Amino acid sequence: MEEAMHGDTRSKLVLCECGKFHFTYRSMTLHFEREDFFAFVDSVARLGTLVKDSANGTAHHPAAVQN
């Protein structure tokens, strides 16, 4: 049985019977192994912090950000 977690109306995370995470955002679904999903979440969080700090004027505004 699949377990679904909804962040809001745009996103959904499903832990599938196959053991993979299926992350859906709008019309796009990404399929992750467990370790890859957690690496993705950490990466997006770090990038989000960089962009947020840049928008608040507390960091250099980069043209591109890479983890």
pLDDT at 1: 41
Give the residue, 10 or 61, on which the prediction is more confident: 10
Residues 38-55: what's their mean pLDDT? Answer: 89
In the chain, where are the structural domains located?
3-55
Q: Which tokens go with 36?
A: 């890859």
pLDDT at 60: 60
Return the minimum-mean-pLDDT range out of 5-9, 42-46, 56-60. Answer: 56-60
Angle subtended at Cα 44 by Cα 42 and Cα 47, rounded to the nearest 5 degrees = 110
CA–CA dist 18, 7 (Å, integer) = 22
Does the predicted TM-score (pTM) go above 0.85? no
DSSP state letter for 2: -
pLDDT at 36: 97
